Structure formats: C-alpha cells, structure tokens
Amino acid sequence: MTRKLRSNFERGTSRWAVRRSQWKALGLTDEDMEKPKIAVVNTSSELSSCFSHLDGVAAKVKVAIRAAGGLPFEVRTAAPSDFITSAGHRGGYILPTRDLIVNDIEVAVEGALLDGMVCLASCDKTTPGQIMAAARLNIPAIVVICGYQRSGKYEGKHVDIEEVFLSAGHVAAGRITVKALTGMSDNAVLGPGVCAGMGTANSMHIVCEALGMALPGSAPVLANSPKMMEHVRRAGERIVAMVWDDLKPRDILTKEAFANAVMAILSLSGSINTVKHLQAIAVEAECEVDVYGLFEHYADRIPLLAAIRPNGEHLIEDFEAAGGARVVMKRLEGSLHASARTVTGQTVREILRDVVAPEQDVIRTVDDPLSRRPSIVIVRGSLAPETGIVKLGVGDTRTLQFSGRANVYHSREAALEGLAKGEITRGQVVVLRGMGAKGGPGMAMASALVFALDGAGLSEHVAVVTDGQLSGLVNRGLVVGEVLPEAAEAGPLALVENGDLIVIDVEKRVVNLEVPQTELAARRARPQKFVSPDEKGWLSIYQRTVQPLSKGAVLRK
C-alpha cells in the first residue's frame, strides 16, 4: 500500500496549504490527510421515500471507510423520483436529471481529486447516473444497493406502488373508484426504498451486480435490512482496498460485462429502460459496444427464468429469498462471460464457483424456463429505421401482429383528451410523437396514455407507437416505444399523418409505415417542428446537447 494517491499534494505548495487549512477546520488531522479520500455519493432527498433512508446509510458507509483506513467525504447530488419529479414539464425532468447527477459527481469528485467513491444506489435514474460518472472519471468505485421498499395489503390482497400506478389509469373509465385507489395508495408503500417490483430501479440494481460494479449477492435486498447493512459495511471496507489496488471501473466495464448484464435482464423480463442506461454507461466508459445489438443478439438465446411482479405472481421478496441476481447468474453460467472482472477483484467464474442454485420455482433453470420467447424485443423498419422497443408480457398469448390506420397526437394530454372524446377507436394505431429525448425535451412519459387505454378496455384492440418513454414496470397491449430517430430528429415518425397505414410484426421484428416514398418525400419538403424553442434553464441545455438514445442519450462532448 505505497501507491501515490492523487489526492495527496506536495507539501509546501499552495494547493497543499489551502486544502490543509480547510480540512483542519473540519477537525481532520495530518494523518487523516494522507489516507485514501473516498467520496460517499448520497442522493438523499425528503421529496420521496425512495431516498429517505440514505442519510443513515451514508453514516454507516463512512464508519466502515474509516475503519478500513480511509477518509470519507459525503457529497450530494440531485435525486429524481419518477413518481414525484415527473409532475413538472410533462415528466421531462426525469431522464435529464440522470445526466445532471453525472455532472454533479464530476464536479465534486474530480474537482477535489478524490481517490475513489462509494455510490448509494436507489431510484431509477440515480443508479445509472452514478455508474456513468464512475465510468467517466475512471477512479475506483463501488455501488451499494440501497434496497426496495416494503409493500402492504389492501382488502386482503397484496398492493404495491406498481399496482397503484396501473390502477390509476382505470379511474376515468369507472373500472375502479377513487375510494379504492385511495385505499391502495394508503397501503402500497410501508417503508423507504425503491419500487417493490421488477421495474427500472430493481432492474438497474441487478444490472450493477451483473456488470460487476456491486458486491455479489447484494441485489435485490430489502431496504435497511440486516443483509443490506452488511453489504454497506463490506462496500465501505472494500473501496479502500480498491483504491490501493487501483482497480478502476473501466477494468470492469468491458464488452463482456455489458453482455452479462443484458443476459441477466432478458432472463428476468427486466425494465426496457435498462437498454438506454446500459448504452449510456458504455459511452461514458468509452467501451465500443452496441447494447441495442446485444439485446437483439441474445433475445432468442436467453430464456425467461423468473417472473417477478408486475410481470408475474412472485414478489421481489420471493426473488431475494431465492438468491436474486447471484442465482440467476449461476443459472446462466454456461452463457456468461465468466472471465469478466468485478469490484471484488475476482472474476465472475470465481464468484460463482461456490454458489449453489437450489431447486425452487421462483428462479427456473435454462432447461426448464418459464418461456423461451423474449420479453424485450428490438424492432426496426421504415417507421423506426434505427430502433424501437416492444415489451411483451410474460405468458402473453395475444397476436404479435397488428395493422391499422394512424391517429396522431403531439402530447399525452392531447391523446388523453382524444380518448375521453371517443376519438380513439378499435383498429387504430395511436401515434404519440414529439416526446423523445430532444423533442420532450427529456423523454416525456407516454405510459399514462397506455394505462388509460387499458382502463378503457382498448389495450387489446389498438396499438401505440411513440418516441416517448414507457414505464419500466409494465405496459398493456402492443406498444412500440422509444422509436428512433425521434420526430424531433426528422425521423419518419415526423411524417406520419392521420389515416396512414402502419404495420407492426413483432415476430419479424418490424414496424413499417406503408406510405409511398414519393408521398413521404413531399411531406419531408414541408417538415413540422417538434422542438420547442422556448425552453429555459436545465432543459434548454439538455435539449441542445443530448445525443440520440442509440448513443445512450448522453450529453454531447
């Protein structure tokens, strides 16, 4: 442990002197100032229960870092919650805040030239933002999975936040009362942590472990449980050793690691949002990998091993008890890239060597899976030349082909109003555009319309095509989301008019606009504008600098 630390400045220099003055005022000793200096990245916030426990977790991490011979410094970032921060600007702040977190971390950690960092992973965008920052800065980093929330019961049945989210779309159609929805809401969240299902947060926690950026066996985990706190302690201890060993994120975030993460998500019908987040992490790591291509490559190769609510009947607690991500990886061992390194210093092969995958029904084997049909499907075609994503339900037996005439809307509010007026009818393909990363800006959430269609009993009788973001939890009916190029980037979606024929064939992986090229050329000569010129503040900066989703929707360098 004699490696020179970048945080230790030459004695007698200006930087050494002024830093010493600042830190002496904090009660630090000269001996402290020679230790590895570790950022504890905390996304604490009182706005959401997702983050309400993180101050306590940060305190535990700091104790562990000190015990291991390090010097912790807690730093804060923005803390977006999809259910809270999505209220403003049509949900446009959610995705952009992921990249704000990346830059928050860069300013605090790189500006101070700290030696390593522990990231407290919680809600949907904080986890990818933290790994993106780790990949960009490329200093020793470890992610601590900070757990899922306890859920409850209503009228004798299990209820969690996902069911509240979905059921809210049924109120307008009279399929559920406000009183019942209120009762569900009262009982859905009984403690801190992320949504208790296989939504984006738990999916990204599993991604952390599959990538090798979190300690083995740490995902998923009940928030504030003894098991979680033990991983907190071990992570604080491990980061100090990682600094001395100079084990960096780009040693871990290889093409093989990204493939392992994709296989894990496919085996669990995880959130489609993991696709763009993994691509963003790859871009920040300067790793030349096409994550969309990986999902295509493995779609028919990796079977579905578990169906966790809302994909199936098993609870996230059942999945944790069955062994979680580590047992999933053991089941997939024959397909994984076993030589990939992890934050432990070991390879995936070494980690899985002594793992026993017991016989149980929650996590099936590759020889006896729940299904061999992929639940995350990448589609392309004349309407989506680059890509589109379809999330299929587990055990879904409905047809995967749909053709219908377009009914075009430019905002979810307009589409919801059209639904209320009876404009949306059976056999149509509802086109919701101008909602992508640039057009939103920030990818407005299209799921409100999807759930409202379900509430109106139309989800099996219409299709939806959008460049907006879809729920990482579950979608109803046939929905092609995150279409690229988006309308604001002059993609074909911008040329669709009411009455155009759209053909979707998920089996063939295509979504096509059946309009003659001569007609499309004429429409292209009179393009519409899908980028608001009136944005201000952070969203204006984001709109001017964001890259397409195919590049992870990272900000332009």
The tens digit of pLDDT for each residue in 55-94 reads 999 999 999 999 999 999 999 999 999 889 988 888 889 9
**Which DSSP state fits 109?**
I
Residues 548 and 486: their CA atoms lie apart, in Å, by: 8
Per-residue model confidence as pLDDT tens digits over 238-293: 999 999 999 999 999 999 999 999 999 999 999 999 999 999 999 999 999 999 99
pLDDT computed for residue 89 by the predictor: 85
For residue 389, pLDDT over 80 is answered with yes
Q: Give the 3-state secondary structure of residue 445.
A: strand
Asked if 524 and 408 touch (Cβ cutoff 8 Å), the reply is no
Q: For the segment 168-216, what is each residue's pLDDT rounded down to a tens digit?
A: 888 877 889 999 999 999 999 999 999 999 999 999 999 999 999 999 9
- Give me 308's structure tokens: 């966790």
**Tally of CB atoms within 10 A around 5:** 16
- The answer on pLDDT for 452 being more than 60 is yes
pLDDT band, residue 435 (cuts 50/70/90) = very high
**DSSP calls for 395-440:** T--S-SEEEEEEEEESSHHHHHHHHHTT---TTEEEEE-S-STTTT
The pair phi, psi for residue 175, each rounded to 5°, is -85, -10
Phi, psi of 41 (to 5 degrees): -85, 110
Q: Please give the full DSSP string across 143-166, using - where no structure is assigned.
A: EEE--BPP-EEETTEEE-HHHHHH
- What tokens does 139 get? 């200093």
> For residues 241 and 140, what is the distance between their CA atoms, to the nearest angstrom?
9
What is the sign of the dihedral through the CA atoms of 412, 414, 420 and 422?
negative
Beta-carbon contacts of residue 324 (< 8 Å; ≥ 6 apart): 206, 217, 219, 220, 221
Determine contact, residues 468/409, Cβ cutoff 8 Å.
no
Strand order, beta sheet including 387-391? 376-379, 387-391, 478-484, 463-466, 428-432, 401-409, 501-505, 510-514
Per-residue pLDDT, 359: 83
Structure tokens at 136: 């960009």
pLDDT tier at 472, thresholds 50, 70, 90: low
Contacts of 345 (CB under 8 A, 6+ apart): 241, 242, 245, 247
Chain-wide mean pLDDT for the chain? Answer: 94
Dist CA 145 CA 159 (whole Å): 23
**Spatial separation of the C-alpha atoms in residues 18 and 74, rounded to whole Å:** 20
Backbone φ and ψ of 144, nearest 5° = -105, 120
- What is the per-residue pLDDT for 393? 79
Q: Residue 270's pLDDT is what?
A: 95
Per-residue pLDDT, 107: 98
Q: Indicate if the pLDDT at residue 228 is higher than 80.
A: yes
Q: Please check the confidence at residue 396 and state whether its pLDDT lies above 80.
A: no
Span 111-116, average pLDDT: 98
Domain with CATH 3.50.30.80 in the chain: 377-551
Rounded to whole angstroms, the Cα distance separating 168 from 178 reads 9
Q: What phi and psi values does residue 461 have, to the nearest 5 degrees?
A: -120, -5
Judge whether residue 394 has pLDDT over 80: no
According to CATH, where is 3.40.50.2300 located in the chain? 34-150+191-352
> Are 322 and 360 in contact, with CB atoms under 8 Å apart?
yes
Instruction: Pick the range with the lowest mean pLDDT from 301-315, 340-354, 504-518, 526-540.
Output: 526-540
State in Å, rounded, how far the first CA of the chain is from the last one: 36
Q: Please confirm, yes or no, whether 471 is among the known catalytic residues.
A: yes
* Interacting residues of 143 by C-beta distance below 8 A, sequence separation 6+: 118, 119, 121, 127, 130, 131, 134, 208, 213, 214
Phi, psi of 40 (to 5 degrees): -100, 100
* Exposure letters 272-300 (e unless 16+ CB within 10 A, then b): bbbbbbbbbbbbbbebebebbebbbebbe
The mean pLDDT value for 528-533 works out to 81
Mean pLDDT within 522-532: 85
Whether CATH 3.40.50.2300 fits 34-150+191-352? yes
Quote the longest CA-to-CA distance of the chain: 77
User: What are φ and ψ of residue 531, in 5° steps?
Assistant: -115, 120
> Mean pLDDT across the stretch 514-523?
94
Q: Residue 415 and residue 500: Cα distance in Å, rounded?
A: 17
Distance in angstroms (rounded) separating the CA atoms of residues 485 and 470? 16
Beta-strand relationship, 141-145 and 478-484: unpaired
Query: Which of 527, 363, 367, 362 lies closest to 439, judged by CA?
Result: 527
* CA gap 120, 143 in Å, rounded: 6
Residue 146: pLDDT band with limits 50, 70, 90: very high
Burial of 226 (0-12, 13-18, 19+ CB in 10 A): exposed
How far apart are the C-alpha atoms of 12 and 30, rounded to whole Å?
Answer: 13
Residue of 7, 411, 471, 540 with catalytic role: 471
Q: What percent of the chain has pLDDT over 70?
A: 98
Q: Which of 136-140, 367-371, 409-413, 467-471 has the lowest mean pLDDT?
A: 467-471
Domain 377-551 sits in which CATH superfamily? IlvD/EDD C-terminal domain-like (3.50.30.80)
